[in-house]
């Protein structure tokens, strides 16, 4: 395998309601993180998985994943970007393709991991899985007045895993100043070219209680 996958899992997950850190919320009786790690580790190209856990949960996350896949667990940071940077520093020598995946996208299929990795292997600097946007999207002022309608055909919703040549991701993080919500955004800021591959509906981000209910249903139908 020539791929390492970073799994930032250090977020509090307040939008899911009060309780455990989001990555440790249960889906089908197992934490989201366990599902996410099991599914990425099942992709044949994956040689290493590095998880960034909440600082207080590093030992418990190590124990949780011990029987799931060989993983390195490091403490995450205050932002997703810091958590990714911490995981990146812990990647073993060897893999030249790095994927960054959210623990919250617990049902992302192994085949999606492979298609993102394949596009990096084929020469892309950075690769993101995307889906078309189904809703009409409007820009709205703080007081709720519509400022304009965005041309939907040019929009895509962006998922993870996002894939990078190792040197590209390291350079993007080294140069990062503002915290962004995804890693491809850092590459864009460096003037890098980010290319798209088709995403998967199973890679939905489990953010709100509705998403968790949907994911419970999907899990029961043996996702790909």
Q: Which residues make up the interface to ligand C5P (CB under 6 A)?
A: 8-11, 22-23, 52, 76-80, 83, 102-104, 181, 207
Please report how close the Cβ of residue 173 comes to ligand C5P at its closest, in angstroms: 14
Q: Which is nearer to ligand C5P, 118 or 130 (CB)?
A: 130
Please report how close the Cβ of residue 105 comes to ligand C5P at its closest, in angstroms: 8
Spatial separation of the C-alpha atoms in residues 125 and 109, rounded to whole Å: 22
Q: Which is nearer to ligand C5P, 55 or 191 (CB)?
A: 55
Please report how close the Cβ of residue 151 comes to ligand C5P at its closest, in angstroms: 26
From the list 28, 90, 37, the residue with the least C-alpha distance to 64 is 37
Q: Which is nearer to ligand C5P, 93 or 177 (CB)?
A: 177
Please report how close the Cβ of residue 195 comes to ligand C5P at its closest, in angstroms: 22
- Give Cβ neighbours of residue 40 (< 8 Å, ≥ 6 apart): 5, 7, 46, 49, 99, 101, 108, 110, 113, 161
Question: Which is it for the CA torsion 101, 105, 109, 111, positive or negative?
Answer: negative
From the list 142, 80, 129, 96, the residue with the least C-alpha distance to 4 is 96
Comparing every residue's Cβ against ligand C5P, the nearest one is 11
Q: Which is nearer to ligand C5P, 77 or 95 (CB)?
A: 77
Q: Which is nearer to ligand C5P, 2 or 75 (CB)?
A: 75
- Burial of residue 112, with CB atoms counted within 10 A of its CB: 0-12 exposed, 13-18 middle, 19 or more buried: buried
Please report how close the Cβ of residue 21 comes to ligand C5P at its closest, in angstroms: 7
């Amino acid at each position: 395998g020539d791929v390492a996958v970073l799994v930032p899992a250090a977020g509090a997950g307040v939008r899911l309601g009060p309780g455990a850190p989001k990555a440790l919320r249960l889906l089908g009786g197992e934490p989201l993180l366990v599902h996410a790690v099991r599914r990425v580790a099942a992709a044949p190209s994956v040689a290493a998985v590095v998880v960034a856990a909440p600082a207080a949960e590093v030992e418990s996350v190590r124990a949780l994943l011990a029987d799931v896949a060989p993983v390195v667990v490091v403490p995450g940071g205050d932002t997703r970007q810091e958590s990714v940077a911490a995981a990146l520093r812990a990647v073993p020598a060897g893999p030249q393709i790095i994927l960054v995946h959210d623990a919250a996208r617990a049902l992302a299929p192994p085949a999606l991991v492979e298609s993102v990795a394949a596009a990096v292997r084929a020469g892309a600097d950075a690769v993101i899985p995307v889906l078309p946007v189904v809703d009409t999207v409007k820009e709205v002022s703080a007081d709720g007045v519509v400022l304009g309608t965005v041309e939907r055909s040019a929009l895509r919703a962006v998922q993870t895993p996002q894939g990078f040549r190792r040197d590209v991701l390291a350079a993007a993080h080294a140069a990062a100043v503002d915290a962004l919500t995804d890693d491809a955004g850092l590459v864009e800021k460096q003037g890098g070219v980010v290319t798209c591959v088709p995403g998967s509906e199973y890679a939905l981000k489990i953010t709100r209680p509705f998403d968790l209910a949907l994911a419970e249903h999907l899990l029961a139908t043996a996702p790909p």
